[in-house]
A and B are shown apart, each in its own frame.
Chain A
Amino acid sequence: MDNTKKRILMLCWEFPPNIVGGLSRHVYGLSVQLAELGYEVHVLTAGNATTTSFENIRNVLIHRIQPLNELDEQFLSWIGGLNLAMALKAEELIAENQFHIIHAHDWLVGAAAIALNESLSIPLIATIHATEHGRNNGIYTEMQKFIHHQEQLLINAANQIIVCSEYMKEEINTVFQKMEEKITVIPNGFEPLKGNLAPHEVLPNLKNKKYIFSIGRIVKEKGFDTIIEAAAIAKENEKDIYFVIAGKGPMLESYRRQVIGKKLEEYVVFVGFITDEVRNTLILNSEMAVIPSLYEPFGIVALETMNLEKPTIVSETGGLKGIVKHLHSGLLMNPGDAKSLLEQVFYLRQNPEQAIAIGKKGKQIINSLYGWKRIAAETSRLIEDTYLSQKVNEKNVFSESPNII
């Protein structure tokens, strides 16, 4: 397939070095792989005073944009400003070169994507990574209503929608009106982490200590309360257990205070943001990993721990239950159930040989299913199909109405 002349306009509000969660890494991995397949990929993303406004990383052309209202106190106005700045930048790029596809990631860039799609008739693919309804288990506040509405607009306008799991497909069909015919499930890919320091270089008190690793954005839906509860039960029963939880987010300080309040410092620690190197080190040296999410459209962190052959316990929810087969490639726990979490931990401890086998199987499965090459090839097929159907539709419109030419 000759993709050399196809240009993709990738819109995402975060992109490395700005990494908060899975979105930034995903768009980075996808862009690099699509560039390797021969596409000319332009990423439009938010910049700041410390980032360069233009950069070429592994043949991906990155345009970092700052909204004019960059100091806006209102988050939504700021996002509005970013969308406007993105759209105007895209218009400038499109004036120089023909673009064939717009690929938008989540509602945060929805307005820019829709405006460009409408004004310039470039087909739009939208990846919906998560929904506001799913994150909050419903829509309650004005802010949530606003975000939900933006998601709805993007879903309606997109020619094609990508979601990362069957679970997300179902969610979109339930929360929004049925969109079956234009939803494609393409899992997230993952890039193996590198780096291996000694664990006590990362955390001094980890020297010669067994620990269970967990990671994610520190928000309610990631279920870290369940770990705190499990730690409290372990303390009560005098069980030797230590959880290391990495990541940052709005709940971090609250969780840290709970740990102190419940005197659980010997059982659980929230280490905050960690670099990729530290993350790799902490996974490699852990006893096992646990991803206790209450809501998880995909669950890319499980892939990272499984890739390092760590037996991984995941919540039986969302994308996670599609990744892990219980007692085969990992273990499933009931979401929000601390006792269920501890049962899985002790099962692995009591069956060390099986724990090793589960770790190995997990690695094997994810490498065959979630390698970036495969994900990029599936995305490429969708790009080609979407572009082609737009062309066919245009042709049909013209042939049915000869007078408009």
Chain B
Amino acid sequence: MGFNYILIVCGLEEDMIVEKFLEGQTLEAINPLKGVLQAKLVSPRKIILFWEVSNLPQKIIQLFFAKSFKDLVQLIRIYDVTDIIFNGRNAHHYYEIAYSYENGYWSIKGLSPNRSYIAEIGVKFSRNDFFPILRSNNIQIPMSDVPNGEEMLFNLTKQQSNSHPPKWIDHVSTYSFYEDSQTTEKNNG
């Protein structure tokens, strides 16, 4: 079962590579773990992401944001985090790819050689409002003999580095959020 499952993921043209990848590995090694997004390299330019599908993300999104999961665009973000300690905001750039959370797996190809990537699966609330569900391990794409810049298949979105704590932090006081008013301060601790 597990073996077929991987073949479906990667598409027919990749069967041989995937078989090679699985050679010598136990099926447990590719089993999804609760609350974990695993990224594995299946060919020199291709990774597979897999996760255990849970009904909790859609429940939380429904309860907290009052949005129906099925009405939202489901997106994977692949962050280029080469030489970066990633904090969610400081990637060199990222790609966005539509996917289906219910699938439990997705494959991504065309990644650049000799770069490190981290993936997030999530949903998009609005144009610039991505809500991540899970974040993967870091994965290194091997060095290529012949560098090929055209392997990038997706639009590049520049992301500004930002490691400052959010501005709302001073407005939150134990139980609530205190909004600005004439008598409320902007900058204090």
Contacts and interface: CB of A to CB of B under 8 A. Distances in A.
Contact of A92 (B35, B59, B174): B35
A405 interface: no
Given A73-B168, A75-B172, A253-B185, A91 B64 contact: no
A266 B179 CA distance: 31
11 contacts: A68-B132, A80-B64, A87-B56, A88-B35, A95-B34, A106-B175, A130-B175, A248-B188, A250-B178, A252-B189, A272-B189
Interface stretch (B15-23, B147-155, B159-167): B159-167
Given A20-B174, A108-B175, A143-B179, 18 more contacts: A21-B173, A23-B174, A70-B88, A71-B87, A72-B166, A75-B171, A75-B177, A76-B177, A78-B166, A80-B64, A83-B60, A84-B60, A84-B61, A87-B60, A111-B60, A114-B59, A119-B55, A253-B187
A111 B59 CA distance: 8
B132 A69 contact: yes
Given A23-B174, A75-B171, A217-B173, A91 B63 contact: no
A80 B131 contact: yes
B183 A83 contact: no
A81 B188 CA distance: 25
B63 A114 contact: yes
Interface of A: 14, 20-24, 68-81, 83-84, 87-89, 91-92, 95, 106, 108, 110-112, 114-116, 118-119, 129-130, 132, 135, 141, 143, 147, 150, 153, 217-220, 248-254, 272-273
Contacts of B164: 71
B65 interface: yes
Contacts of A95: 34
Nearest to A136: B176
B120 interface: yes
A95 B87 CA distance: 28
Contact of A71 (B163, B171, B175): B163
B183 A251 contact: yes
Contact of A69 (B88, B162, B165, B183): B88
Most chain A Cβ neighbours within 10 Å, of B59, B179, B187: B59
Contacts of A88: 34-35, 54, 56-57, 134
B162 to A, nearest CB: 6
A55 B175 CA distance: 24
Interface string B28-40: 0000001100000
- The A interface, classified by DSSP as helix, strand, loop or mixed, is helix
Q: Which of A71, A147, A153, A219 has the most CB of B within 10 A?
A: A71
A95 B36 CA distance: 13
Contacts of B168: 73-75, 78
A68 B88 contact: yes
List the 10 closest A-B pairs by CB distance, nearest first.
A21-B174, A115-B59, A75-B168, A111-B64, A253-B188, A88-B35, A68-B132, A111-B63, A250-B178, A253-B185
A129 B122 CA distance: 32
Contact of B185 (A80, A115, A143, A252): A252
Contacts of B89: 71
Given A71-B89, A118-B59, A254 B183 contact: yes
A75 B56 contact: no
Contacts of A217: 173-174
Contacts of A74: 166, 168
Contact of A91 (B54, B88, B171): B54
B184 interface: yes
Nearest to B165: A71
A207 to B, nearest CB: 27
